[in-house]
C-alpha cells in the first residue's frame, strides 16, 4: 500500500492498494477511484440511539466506507490545509478531530471519543473525535497549517476549542471557560478553551473548520 | 516582544511576551497560549454604542482580550492571507478595515470608527477601526496585500471591501456606487456615478461600492474580501 499526498491549496491523498489491501474512510470524501477498487461498508461503534445522537449533533456518519484493492483511490476534505500520514504503532491510540480523518488502513481499530463542552450557549454539546488504535497508518487533513507539540508529563497548553486536530490518548483534556479578568462581567464574557496536559504529542490546526471564512 | 509567522496557508503569528508586555485582540483569534499568560479584558465601546451599531447590521465587539505575562500566545484569523506589521509613531493614526486586526500592543489606542456615507436614496456605513500610536499593530489581509503610497492629491478608486488600511492623512472624498446597484442607489444618479468609477464593472453587487481615496498617505488594498 502506498500513500501519496497531492499537495496544493486544497490537498488530496492518493492511495494505491495492492490486491486484497483496504482502507476505510467516510464515503462522502472520495475524490475518485479506479473501477477495480470495490466499496464495502464497515460499521462503527455504538447502538442505534448513540449513532443518531452523533449524526444529529456531530454530523458523524453511521457507517464508514471500505475501499478494497487492487487500484487507486483518492480522498479530499474539500478544504485548504495540510495532509499528514501518521504511523500508529500496535497498541497506541490517537484521537483525531471529527471531520479530519481522510483514510486509515484496515488494521486500525476505530472508535469514537467525546470531549465535553461547557454547556454554555453556542456550545451546548462538545465534540467527537475519531479514536484510532494501531497498528496501521492514518491520513489526516489539518485545516490551514499544522503545528505539532510534544508535551512532557504534566506539561499543559491552553488551546482554542476548534484548534485541536490530533492528540495521543494519553493527553488529558479539560474544557473550561477562560474568564476575561476578574469580576462578574469577566466571567460572563468568557470564551471556551481546552487545556491539554501531557504526556503525549498533539497537533493543532490554524483554521477552526467551523469558522472557515474563504 | 518577539513575533514569528508560522505557515503560509493560514498563517499564525506566534508572540513571545516578556516582562509586563501586553497585547490585545479579539478573543476568538487565540489559537493557543501558555497557561502562565494571563487574560484580562479591555472595554472598547459603550454597551449603548454596541447596540446601535448592532442595529445597523455591524457585529461590533465591546471588548478585547488582553494577554499579559511571560509566555507565548499564538494568534490565527482562521483564514488565508498576508499578515503585515504596522508601526505607529506617537499620535500617528491609521484606519483599518473592521475585523482585520490580529493584535495590537497595549500602548496603541483604539476606537471604533463608523463612517456614515448615507445620501439621498442611499444608505451606507463604512465600519473601520482607528488605531493611534505609539506601538505596533498586526493586521491580516484577505488574500494578498498591496501597498500604495499616494502623493498629495493623487487619487485611487478602491471597492470598499478591498480597502484594508489607510493613514489618517488619506481622505475619502466620496463613496461611489457602481451600476447596477439596487440597494444603495437607483436610477439616473447611479448611472452618472458609474461613469467615474471603472473598477470591476462585472463584479457582483456586493463589490459595487467604491471608495475614492486621495493622498497624501499610505493605502493597503487586499485582493480578497
Residue of A nearest to B79 (CA): A213
In contact, B221 and B144? CB cutoff 8 Å: no
As a whole number, the mean pLDDT across chain B is 80
Task: Encode pLDDT of A35-81 as tens digits.
Answer: 999 999 887 766 777 777 767 766 667 778 999 989 999 999 988 89
Q: Which of A145, A158, A193 sits opposite B10 (nearest CB)?
A: A145
B71 at interface of A, judged by CB pairs closer than 8 A: no
User: Which pLDDT belongs to residue A91?
Assistant: 95
In order of B42, B85, B165, the CA distances from B225 in angstroms are 28, 20, 13
Q: What are A123's strand-pairing partners?
A: A120
B9:A214 CB<8 A: no
Kindly list the residues from chain B whose CB atom is less than 8 angstroms away from the CB atom of residue A178: 27, 39
* Domain boundaries along the sequence of chain B: 2-222
**Residue A8: other Cβ atoms inside 10 A:** 9
Whether chain A has a CB inside 8 Å of the CB on B26: the answer is no
What pLDDT, in 10s, does the model give residues B107-142?
999 988 877 776 656 666 778 899 999 999 999 998
Which regions in chain A score pLDDT beneath 50?
A: 214
Can you say how many angstroms the Cα of residue B93 is from the centroid of all Cα atoms in its chain?
13
Mean pLDDT of B74-79: 92
Chain A environment of B34 (Cβ under 8 Å): 157-158
Band (pLDDT 50/70/90 cuts) for residue B8 is confident
In angstroms, what CA-CA distances link B71 with B19, B20, B21, B67?
9, 11, 10, 10
Q: Please, which pLDDT band fits residue B200 given cuts at 50, 70 and 90?
A: very low
Contact A180 B78 (CB under 8 A): no
CA distance to partner chain B, nearest, from residue A48 (Å): 35
Domain residue ranges of chain A, discontinuous segments joined by +: 2-208
Q: Which residues have CB under 8 Å from A11's CB, separation 6+?
A: A5, A76, A81, A82, A83, A141
pLDDT of residue B206: 43
Instruction: Please list every residue in chain B whose beta carbon sits closer than 8 Å to the beta carbon of residue A214.
Output: 79-80, 142, 224
CATH architecture of A2-208: 4-Layer Sandwich (3.60)
Q: What is the C-alpha to C-alpha distance for residues A202 and A164, in angstroms, rounded to an integer?
A: 8
Residues 104-143 of B with CB under 8 A from A: 142
Nearest to B203 by CA among B187, B223, B189, B175: B223
What is the enclosing helix (H) or strand (E) of A56? helix A48-58
Find chain A residues with C-beta within 8 A of B12's C-beta: 144-145, 147, 206
Q: Are A150 and A203 in contact (CB under 8 A)?
A: no
The hierarchical CATH code for the domain B2-222 is 3.60.160.10
Contact residues, chain A, for B40 at CB < 8 Å: 180-181, 186
Among A170-174, B84-88, B180-184, B202-206, the range scoring the smallest mean pLDDT is B180-184
Grid cell in block for residue B196: 467615474
Find chain A residues with C-beta within 8 A of B9's C-beta.
9, 80-82, 144-145, 206
Amino acid at each position: 500500500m502506498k500513500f501519496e499526498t497531492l499537495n496544493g491549496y486544497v490537498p488530496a491523498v492518493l492511495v494505491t492498494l495492492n490486491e486484497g489491501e483496504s482502507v476505510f474512510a467516510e464515503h462522502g470524501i472520495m475524490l475518485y477511484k479506479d473501477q477495480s477498487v470495490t466499496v464495502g461498508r464497515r460499521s462503527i461503534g455504538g447502538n442505534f440511539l448513540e449513532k443518531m445522537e452523533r449524526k444529529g449533533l456531530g454530523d458523524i456518519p453511521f457507517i464508514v466506507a471500505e475501499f478494497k484493492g487492487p487500484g487507486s483511490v483518492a480522498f479530499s476534505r474539500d478544504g485548504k490545509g495540510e495532509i499528514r500520514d501518521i504511523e500508529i504503532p500496535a497498541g497506541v491510540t490517537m484521537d483525531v478531530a471529527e471531520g479530519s480523518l481522510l483514510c486509515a488502513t484496515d488494521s486500525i481499530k476505530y472508535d469514537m471519543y467525546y470531549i465535553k463542552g461547557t454547556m454554555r450557549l453556542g456550545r451546548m454539546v462538545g465534540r467527537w473525535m475519531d479514536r484510532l488504535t494501531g497498528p496501521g497508518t492514518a491520513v489526516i487533513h489539518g485545516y490551514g497549517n499544522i503545528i505539532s507539540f510534544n508535551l512532557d508529563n504534566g506539561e499543559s497548553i491552553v488551546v482554542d476549542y476548534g484548534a485541536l486536530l490530533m492528540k495521543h490518548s494519553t493527553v488529558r483534556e479539560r474544557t473550561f471557560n477562560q474568564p476575561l479578568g476578574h469580576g462578574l462581567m469577566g466571567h460572563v464574557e468568557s470564551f471556551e478553551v481546552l487545556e491539554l496536559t501531557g504526556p503525549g504529542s498533539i497537533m493543532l490546526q490554524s483554521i477552526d473548520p467551523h469558522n472557515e471564512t474563504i | 516582544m518577539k513575533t514569528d509567522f508560522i505557515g503560509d496557508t493560514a498563517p499564525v503569528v506566534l508572540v513571545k511576551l516578556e516582562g509586563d508586555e501586553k497585547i490585545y485582540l479579539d478573543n476568538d483569534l487565540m489559537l493557543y497560549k501558555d497557561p502562565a499568560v494571563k487574560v484580562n479584558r479591555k472595554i472598547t465601546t459603550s454597551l449603548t454604542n454596541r447596540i446601535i451599531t448592532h442595529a445597523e447590521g455591524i457585529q461590533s465587539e465591546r471588548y478585547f482580550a488582553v494577554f499579559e505575562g511571560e509566555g507565548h500566545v499564538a494568534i490565527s484569523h482562521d483564514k488565508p492571507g498576508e499578515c503585515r506589521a504596522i508601526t505607529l509613531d506617537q499620535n500617528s493614526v491609521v484606519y483599518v478595515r473592521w475585523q482585520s486586526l490580529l493584535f495590537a500592543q497595549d500602548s496603541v489606542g483604539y476606537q471604533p470608527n463608523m463612517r456614515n456615507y448615507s445620501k439621498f436614496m442611499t444608505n451606507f456605513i463604512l465600519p473601520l477601526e482607528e488605531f493611534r500610536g505609539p506601538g505596533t499593530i498586526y493586521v491580516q489581509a484577505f488574500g494578498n496585500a498591496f501597498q500604495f503610497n499616494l502623493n498629495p492629491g493623487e487619487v485611487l478608486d478602491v471597492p470598499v471591501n478591498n480597502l484594508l488600511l489607510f493613514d489618517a492623512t488619506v481622505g475619502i472624498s466620496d463613496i461611489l456606487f457602481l451600476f447596477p446597484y439596487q440597494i444603495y442607489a437607483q436610477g439616473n444618479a447611479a448611472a452618472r456615478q458609474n461613469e467615474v468609477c471603472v473598477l470591476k464593472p462585472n463584479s457582483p453587487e456586493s463589490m459595487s461600492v467604491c471608495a475614492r481615496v486621495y493622498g497624501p498617505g499610505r493605502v493597503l488594498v487586499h485582493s480578497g474580501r
